[in-house]
């Protein structure tokens, strides 16, 4: 899996080099003329990982460690998804007044706190304190980052390149989720250790390491967001 991840990064770099030399590139360099577009897409990669990866690990946790069915695992995650849906609506109303930067910074830090809390998962949890409460915090934080990231990555783009900017944004979101899962599954497997896949305590130890790494990525997301242009520039 690690080899595939490295190969993917190398191929992405090769694609970037080819695009810079092409007469009619798939992604015109003019799309990246605005700083917020560049940073917004970088944020979208990070946000994609922070949103997607906890759902992946929690699904495995419920089914492989706790022995729950896929249905019960999904139902256990519904509160987090509901908070995300509600928070996105709230962030839409806050963007005109605050701009993307404070929402992404604040939301990413809240998500990091929730992920740190979630990283304390035991092999035999109390659902409310070990799963429900921290996932609600993660959901609230990530929900505040999603729409502002989209606004930052698309505002000010030439109308001729609007379709390209939208496609690039979607690619970055999916790339973040894929890279996040690939990298953190590798980390979790390494921490768990060979031959310990049937030991719930060892498996949970690997999950904890992955969630802590994800909390660090969420903090990094907040730091990256500090480089977004201010409110007026972001809304032009």
Nearest to 145 by CA among 197, 98, 193: 98
* Total length of the chain: 236
Least confident of 57-61, 63-67, 201-205, 232-236: 232-236
What is the band of 235 on the pLDDT scale with cuts at 50, 70, 90?
A: very low
Q: Round to whole Å and give the CA distance between 232 and 92.
A: 16
Which range (19-23, 108-112, 141-145) has the least confidence?
19-23
Can you list the domains of the chain with their CATH numbers? 33-234 (1.20.1250.20)
List CB contacts of 186: < 8 A, sequence separation 6 or more.
1, 2, 5
């Amino acid at each position: 899996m690690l080899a595939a991840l490295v190969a993917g990064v190398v191929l992405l770099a090769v694609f970037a080099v080819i695009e810079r030399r092409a007469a009619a590139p798939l992604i015109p360099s003019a799309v990246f003329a605005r700083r917020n577009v560049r940073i917004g897409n970088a944020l979208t990669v990070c946000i994609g990982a922070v949103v997607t990866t906890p759902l992946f690990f929690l699904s495995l946790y419920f089914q492989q460690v706790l022995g729950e069915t896929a249905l019960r695992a999904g139902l256990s995650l519904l509160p987090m998804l509901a908070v995300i849906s509600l928070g996105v609506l709230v962030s839409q109303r806050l963007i005109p007044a605050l701009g993307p930067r404070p929402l992404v910074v604040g939301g990413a830090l809240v998500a990091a706190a929730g992920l740190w809390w979630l990283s304390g998962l035991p092999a035999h949890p109390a659902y409310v304190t070990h799963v429900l409460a921290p996932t609600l915090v993660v959901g609230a934080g990530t929900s505040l980052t999603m729409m502002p990231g989209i606004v930052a990555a698309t505002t000010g783009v030439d109308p001729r390149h609007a379709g390209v900017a939208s496609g690039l944004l979607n690619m970055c979101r999916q790339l973040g989720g894929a890279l996040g899962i690939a990298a953190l599954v590798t980390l979790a497997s390494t921490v768990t250790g060979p031959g310990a896949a049937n030991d719930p305590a060892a498996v949970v130890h690997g999950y904890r390491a992955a969630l802590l790494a994800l909390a660090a990525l969420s903090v990094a997301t907040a730091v990256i967001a500090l480089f977004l242009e201010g409110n007026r520039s972001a809304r032009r």
